[in-house]
Chain A
Amino acid sequence: MIETFNIGFRNIGKRYGSNLVLDSTSIDISSHNCIVITGKNGAGKTTLLRIIAGLEKPDSGVILLDDAEAEPWRKQRKRLLKSVMYLHQQPYMLSGSLRRNIEYAARLNPALADRAASVAKAIHWAGLDGLETQSAASLSGGQKQRVALTRARLRDPQILLLDEPTANLDNESRARTLQMLREFCDSGTAIVIVSHDPEVFDELATHKLQLQDHRIHAETGSSSDVIELKSVRHSRQR
């Protein structure tokens, strides 16, 4: 179970050359949150996720980790990389077998007492039994998504970021992915999902936000700069 936490991203700005992507965008993420962000192509959704993950440096803004004082980006990135995990739209599979991919994640988590047992358990959790020796590159899109989520489970992050996790998945794979995400939420992991199809996550979402005009708005159309997440309409029934 993840300890309660709160990470605030305030007035985040980002531009690529002359192209403004994010302008004073703010978002708070707490344990058990499941935030779904929608927006047009090029609205900056993926950039926002990458900033939250510590993979991209914002041009401006403040990041408050557990309400602590703002720190230099180098320190913040280190902490973000420790506590946040980002799953690409097309999950990257390391060369080699499915088992190698899972074991790689297990080896990076020193908290795992019995690594071999944890790997076996995680593979079973994802329903990937029997595919251990198969080349990860040859897996289907749904299976790759499950491998990525299995690696995330072994990583045990505070925040899990997903970029279009159900895109191009059939109904069965989609349902399985949602079930896995629900288990993450139940364990206290905060989930931030970027999707063009937010209805898919209706059951899961505690907050739905829209990225528009380079800023985050509540889906209801509020234009306030800082969204108080508690006030957003969806509240997951527990």
Chain B
Amino acid sequence: MDILLASCAEAFRLLFSGDPDTWEIIAISFRVSSLAILCAVPPALVIAFSLAYGNFFGRRLLILLFNTFLSVPAVVIGLTLFIVLSRQGPLGDFKLLFTQTAMGLGQFLLCLPILVCMVHVALQAADRAAWETARTLGASRVRAFFTVLYEIRFGLMAALLAGYGRIISEVGASMMLGGNIAHYTRNIPTAIALETSKGAFAEGIALGIVLLFLALMVNALLQYVQGKGSINP
């Protein structure tokens, strides 16, 4: 118990003293995960929209596949991309392995199914009349698309937060694709794994507290947004 308390105290000291190594790791985590989710949002919206409103061959199979991808472990995504990006792999010439781009790619693939499935559910729960009303009022497909997105904005926000929460805390793909290189691909989860293996619990807990704090912020934001969206707040 004493060790835990001492580690917590050291963790707060590291955080609030502005320890450059700790904050660099935090910055890498935020940069990679933010870029990954920003890149995943547009295709996820288009796919979710097509699945919800489209009527094409293989639609049900796609829904099934995306739902299945929700439960794929991060390490499996990491391993698959590792093979693809390794020197012998089809994309080996791009020399992306052990870069932040590779980590971002892994996180992109991790959050895409979450975004697709949650937006798809939000669209299905929304009244289809929103789309039809916009179209029949003369809105183009693109305009009607954004109108519907605005109508489901609370569900959309929940999807974004869930996706972000998933990738900021994953360790398997980042470890395999980034290699946990100091000052370059070391992010919060891989650093925690490393510090723990070295016995440097204070650093590990400090970074864990950052993740917890982030999770708290994400959930508080989600609760706030959902509260705003309810008819009887």
Contacts and interface: CB of A to CB of B under 8 A. Distances in A.
A55 B137 contact: no
Interface stretch (A24-32, A33-41, A77-85, A198-206): A77-85
Contacts of A168: none
Interface stretch (B114-122, B125-133, B216-224): B125-133
B138 A155 contact: yes
A81 B129 contact: no
Nearest to B127: A92
Given A94-B151, A95-B151, A108 B138 contact: yes
A92 B133 CA distance: 7
A78 to B, nearest CB: 10
Interface string A210-237: 0000000000000000000000000000
A86 B138 CA distance: 11
B138 A81 contact: yes
A108 B133 contact: no
Looking at B137, B150, B151, the one whose CB has the most chain A CB atoms below 10 A away is B137
Interface residues of A, number: 20
Contact of B136 (A85, A95, A109): A85
B231 A86 contact: no
Q: Is the interface of B mostly helix, strand, loop or mixed?
A: helix
A88 interface: yes
B105 to A, nearest CB: 36
A3 to B, nearest CB: 17
Contact of B135 (A81, A88, A94): A81
Interface in B31-83: none
Looking at A86, A91, A92, the one whose CB has the most chain B CB atoms below 10 A away is A92
B129 A109 contact: no
Nearest to A82: B138
A115 B203 CA distance: 60
A104 interface: yes
B231 A137 contact: yes
A94 B130 contact: yes
Q: Is the interface of A mostly helix, strand, loop or mixed?
A: mixed
A146 interface: no
B137 A105 contact: yes
A132 B105 CA distance: 47
A84 B139 CA distance: 12
A86 B151 contact: no
B130 A81 contact: no
B143 interface: yes
A94 B147 contact: yes
Contact of B137 (A90, A137, A151): A151
A55 B132 contact: yes
A45 B143 CA distance: 29
A104 B136 CA distance: 12
A84 B137 contact: no
Contacts of A104: 137, 147
A151 B151 CA distance: 18
Contact of A92 (B129, B138, B143): B129
Interface in A87-105: 88, 90-92, 94-95, 104-105
A109 to B, nearest CB: 7
Looking at B132, B133, B136, B138, the one whose CB has the most chain A CB atoms below 10 A away is B136
A53 interface: yes
A89 B221 CA distance: 36
Nearest to A80: B136
Interface of A: 53, 55, 81-82, 84-86, 88, 90-92, 94-95, 104-105, 108-109, 137, 151, 155
Interface of B: 127, 129-130, 132-133, 135-139, 143, 147, 150-151, 231
The 4 A-B pairs with the shortest beta carbon distances in the complex, nearest first, are A92-B129, A108-B138, A92-B133, A86-B136
27 contacts: A55-B136, A81-B135, A81-B136, A85-B136, A85-B137, A86-B136, A88-B129, A88-B132, A88-B133, A90-B129, A91-B133, A92-B132, A92-B133, A94-B130, A94-B133, A94-B150, A95-B150, A95-B151, A104-B147, A105-B137, A105-B138, A108-B139, A108-B143, A109-B138, A137-B231, A151-B137, A155-B138
